[in-house]
Amino acid sequence: MNRPVRLHSRIPFLPILAAGLLLLQILAPDRVWAVLLIGLGGIWLAGWIWARSLARNLSLQREVRFGWAHVGDLVEERFTLTNDGWAPAIWVEVQDRSSMPSYDPSRIGGVDRLSETHWQTKGLCLRRGLFMLGPTTIIAQDPFGIFRIEKDYPSSAMMAVMPPVVPLPAIEIAPGGRAGDGRTRTGAPERTVDAAGVRDYIPGDSLRWIHWPTSARKGSLHVRLFDGMPVGDWWIFIDMDRPCQAGQGENSTEEHAVVLAASLANRGISEGRAVGMVGQGERDLFWIPPRAGDTQLWEILRALAMITPADRPLGDLLRQLNPRESARSSLILITPEVDGRWLESLLFLMRRGIQPTVLLLDPVSYGGKGDPANLSARLTDCGIAQYVFTRDLLDRPEMRPGVPGGIKWKVTPRGRAIITETADLSWKALS
């Protein structure tokens, strides 16, 4: 693939100087003018030939190991600078134009003729979002410093930095619907009154639930399945209304609301629930209907990675929820707005059978204004479960979980470490 190459002189007046020497040699022939003209012309020609070789034969390959990460994880890249020509590249600058904050893999070095050089870069993902790795430009010059070569590599890759998922304190989500409503969670390993069937044994299952007659008949271990309790969907509403946010940077209600929403979604999907998410960002509204599975969690985390505050009150979002479609759902509100202007919209949904749980972010602990005590009392009077989160409660070490996708280990009772999960560690070229 041909790369856009620019070759230009760093000394633009050199041709004018050579023309002047040539004119002097014609008008007043002298050995001095001839030597200067030959020397200057020879250096210019040698530099141009050298630069042409570098422009044709220098190439760069850029590879990334992971396509996504969490806040606090590492982005890792590998660069290969190749010179297939006869002229060594004494000075080469690799200029990176990635959009990821606090990560700059730019480098200055060199590469000998008919050889290549490799290096790796690592950077810490400090902020959630969708960032671009690349494009890249390599800059080189001849040893005389006369010509400058710029070669563009427009290849790039999107890097999604997801919000961290942290362990949460005990939060009891109000079950949606009335007794007997909801979806029955089949295949639940919990002990209930009735057994629903059997399935293959999976390492980690309790030995107490092995169904020995079936295991003996089929020649392999099988465990009993029990009818689970009804499981309702979760609708998580995250309040990104700009006027009610407090704090700065990572210690703000905006970022902690995102962490809380991501952690709740992870918990719900891990429990086999269908989880949906609603939030209004500065650019657009994301409305993700409840579904189960890891793909749903990925979609929610991706949306949370890109959401930013907007001028859209929480009450407006609540009025868009269709009570008929969500009558058996649990509604979870995450908001730092303690004036309760959204309470009327919430009470309307409650009258249609939706059961809410309100998670209040205390704005005072983030340096803002407002006392959640009054709103908490009003919610209690309305029979609405609520929890108040201060900044310290969510400012946990787990918000920086480490390198993504690495090797996970498990230590056996005898002290032996074995690999339990290995991610795809292969390098992928930017495209």
> 3-state class of 375 per DSSP?
helix
**pLDDT at 430 > cutoff 60:** yes
Reduced to 3 states, what is the DSSP secondary structure of residue 104?
A: coil
Across residues 176-196, what is the average pLDDT? 43
- What's the mean pLDDT in 63-76? 84
Tokens for 233, please give them.
């969907």
Cα-flanking dihedrals φ and ψ of residue 47, to 5°? Answer: -65, -40
pLDDT value at 249 more than 80: yes
Q: Is residue 290 domain-resident? A: yes
190 pLDDT above the threshold of 60: no
pLDDT at 193 exceeding the cut of 60? no
pLDDT at 57 over 90: yes
CATH number at residue 102: 2.60.40.10
In-domain check, residue 43: yes
**Within a 10 A sphere around the Cβ of 346, how many other Cβ atoms?**
22
What does the alpha-carbon distance between residue 154 and residue 387 come to, in Å, rounded to a whole number? 49
Q: Would you place residue 188 in the very low, low, confident or very high pLDDT band (cuts 50, 70, 90)?
A: very low
- Beta strand pairing call for 385-389 and 234-238: unpaired
Which pLDDT score, from 0 to 100, does residue 325 have? 62
Task: Check whether 110 has a pLDDT greater than 80.
Answer: yes
When pLDDT is averaged across residues 137-164 and rounded to a whole number, the result is 91
For residue 357, with 0-12 CB atoms within 10 Å meaning exposed, 13-18 middle and 19 or more buried, which class applies?
buried
- The CB density around residue 333, as the number of other CB atoms within 10 Å, is 23
Say if CB 280 and CB 244 are below 8 A apart: no
What confidence score (pLDDT) does residue 61 get? Answer: 94
Domain co-membership, 244 together with 224: no
Q: Is the pLDDT assigned to residue 286 strictly greater than 60? A: yes
Confidence category of residue 425, pLDDT binned at 50, 70, 90: low
If one compares 13 and 349, the residue with the highest pLDDT of the two is: 349
Does the residue 411 lie in any domain? no
The pLDDT value given to residue 176: 65
Residue 166: band (very low, low, confident or very high) from pLDDT cuts 50, 70, 90: confident
* AA identity, residue 425: L
Check pLDDT > 90 for residue 405: no
Q: Which of 228, 243, 258 is the last residue of a domain?
A: 228
172 contacts 207 by C-beta, under 8 angstroms: no
For 13-56, the pLDDT digits (tens) are: 777 777 777 777 677 777 777 777 777 878 888 889 999 999 99
SS3 label, residue 10: coil
Residue 97 lies in a domain: yes
Distances in Å between the alpha carbon of 232 and those of 168, 244, 272, 273, 354?
A: 20, 30, 10, 7, 11
Clarify whether residues 368 and 323 are in a common domain: yes
The yes-or-no verdict on residue 339 having pLDDT over 60 is yes
* CB neighbour class for 63 (10 Å; exposed up to 12, middle 13-18, buried from 19): middle
**In the listed set 228, 262, 284, which residue is the last one of a domain according to the structure?**
228
Structure-block tokens of residue 331: 């509604």
Backbone angles phi, psi at 85, to 5 degrees: -100, 180
pLDDT at res. 397: 62
pLDDT level of residue 59 (50, 70, 90 thresholds): very high
Residue 418 has pLDDT above 50, yes or no: no
Mean confidence (pLDDT) of the chain: 81
Determine, yes or no, domain membership for 404: no
How many structural domains are present in the chain? 3
Closest to 161 measured CA to CA, from 94, 237, 234, 103: 103
Q: What angle do CA 280, 284, 285 make, to 5 degrees?
A: 45
State the pLDDT at residue 74: 85
Q: What is the DSSP letter of 202?
A: -
Residue 262 within a domain = yes
214 and 340 inside one domain? no
Identify whether 143 is preceded by a cis peptide bond (ω within 30 of 0).
no
Cα separations (Å) of 310 from 57, 147, 280, 284, 345?
Answer: 50, 50, 7, 9, 19
Distance CA 306, CA 295 (A): 17
Cα–Cα distance measured from residue 342 to residue 243, given in angstroms and rounded to the nearest whole number: 14
- pTM metric for this prediction: 0.72
> 256 with 391, same domain?
yes
Could you tell me if 201 and 221 are in contact, meaning their C-beta atoms sit under 8 angstroms apart? yes
Q: Is the pLDDT of residue 172 over 70?
A: yes
**256, 373: one domain:** yes
Based on the domain organization, do 280 and 235 belong to the same domain? yes
Which residue has better confidence, 8 or 235? 235
181 falls within a domain: no
- The answer to whether residues 140 and 127 belong to one domain is yes
Distance CA 31, CA 18 (A): 15
Domain that holds residue 199: 186-228
Which of the four pLDDT bands, split at 50, 70 and 90, describes residue 197?
A: low
CATH of the domain at 256: 3.40.50.410
8 A C-beta contact, residue 260 and residue 334: yes
Is 240 found in the same domain as 389? Answer: yes
Residues 215 and 272 in one domain: no
- Quick one: pLDDT at residue 421? 46
In 3D space, the residue among 325, 305, 231 whose CA is nearest the CA of residue 261 turns out to be 305
Report the pLDDT value the prediction gives residue 192, as an integer from 0 to 100: 39
Residue 78 lies in a domain: yes
User: In the predicted model, is pLDDT for residue 187 greater than 60?
Assistant: no
The confidence score (pLDDT) of residue 88 equals 94
147 and 256, same domain (yes or no): no
Whether the per-residue pLDDT at 420 is higher than 70: the answer is no
pLDDT digits (tens, 9 = 90+) for 287-297: 999 998 888 99
What is the separation, in whole angstroms, between the first and last Cα of the chain?
12
- Residue 221, CB half-sphere, CA atoms under 13 Å: how many? 11
The answer on 258 and 154 residing in a single domain is no
140 and 277 assigned to the same domain: no
How high is the pLDDT of residue 327?
Answer: 64
